[in-house]
């Protein structure tokens, strides 16, 4: 990773912070992006924040980045989850793509989620993929009003997976591998405060997303995989959704050939 310039969004906490630290220890220069405690401050739920991200990273990098790790995301039962997880992530990838094109060995990765195959709403996912942000936000609000707000997070990740699979080939034509890592449940502060600290909710999530290698999983395992996907060593993999979930996806899809 020496001499590589990497951008990490959502770098102030959780998987983003762990990934930024891993990359730095490996010798990379890291540009940390978040709404607080970061080199570039940007709210990716807004058009203004997305423009600020591109401008800030362009200035901080000198016009070239080698790796982009799009981690920023939230899991609120709110339209903001769609605006950040799907539209904000795509704006990050597309907005910084010209800076990646200036690198001799560019790599990009987004963070998805195992939950995309467990609890997503197809209607919201399809709405996201129309690329009409306001319509997708309205669909998210409708889920909240019907008491199904918890489906917004996995739906945003399912839409991201589908967008990435459709888009990675055009990126490959420019020599940029584009992939996603889909973690299972890992031991972050957000996971603890959201459900891990509550025994009943923890048991329900563990049953829905069984992880034979341990529940919750270690954050560093996700960070190291994300770091590898944006390393020079990842020269021949693109368009993949990599499940780093302690065996949950294999358990849930046991016997499936898909």
Q: Is 57 within 8 Å of 96 (Cβ atoms)? A: yes
- Residue 203 burial class via C-beta count within 10 angstroms: exposed 0-12, middle 13-18, buried 19 and up: exposed
The three-point CA angle 66-229-234 to 5° equals: 85
Dist. CA 87–CA 79, nearest whole Å: 11
Residue 153 known to be catalytic: yes
**Residue 150 carries which DSSP code?**
G
- Residue 21 burial class via C-beta count within 10 angstroms: exposed 0-12, middle 13-18, buried 19 and up: middle
Strands (E), the chain: 5-9, 29-34, 40-41, 67-70, 107-111, 178-183, 241-244
**Residue 218 carries which DSSP code?**
P
Closest CA to 111 of 31, 225, 25: 225
Residue 63, helix vs strand vs coil: coil
Residue 111 forms beta bridges with which residues?
A: 181
Q: Which of 153, 163, 195, 228 is catalytic?
A: 153
Give the count of beta carbons closer than 10 Å to the beta carbon of residue 214: 14
Closest CA to 42 of 60, 22, 18: 60
Which residues are catalytic, by number? 153
């Amino acid at each position: 990773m020496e001499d590589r310039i990497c951008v990490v969004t959502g770098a102030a906490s959780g998987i983003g912070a762990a990934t930024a630290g891993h990359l730095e220890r490996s010798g990379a220069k890291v540009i940390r992006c978040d709404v607080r405690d970061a080199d570039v401050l940007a709210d990716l739920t807004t058009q203004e924040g997305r423009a600020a991200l591109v401008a800030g990273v362009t200035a901080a990098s000198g016009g070239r980045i080698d790796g982009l790790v799009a981690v920023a995301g939230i899991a609120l039962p709110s339209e903001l989850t769609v605006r950040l997880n799907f539209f904000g992530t795509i704006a990050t990838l597309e907005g910084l793509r010209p800076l990646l094109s200036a690198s001799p060995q560019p790599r990009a990765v987004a963070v998805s989620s195992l939950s995309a195959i467990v609890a997503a709403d197809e209607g919201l996912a399809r709405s996201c993929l129309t690329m009409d942000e306001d319509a997708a936000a309205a669909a998210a609000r409708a889920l909240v009003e019907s008491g199904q707000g918890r489906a917004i997070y996995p739906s945003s990740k399912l839409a991201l997976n589908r967008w990435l699979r459709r888009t990675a080939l055009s990126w490959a034509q420019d020599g940029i591998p584009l992939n996603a890592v889909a973690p299972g449940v890992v031991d972050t502060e957000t996971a603890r405060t959201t459900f891990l600290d509550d025994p009943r909710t923890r048991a329900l999530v563990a049953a829905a997303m069984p992880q034979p290698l341990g529940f919750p999983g270690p954050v560093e395992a996700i960070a190291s995989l994300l770091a590898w996907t944006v390393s020079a060593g990842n020269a021949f993999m693109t368009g993949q959704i990599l499940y780093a979930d302690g065996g949950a996806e294999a358990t849930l899809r046991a016997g499936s050939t898909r």
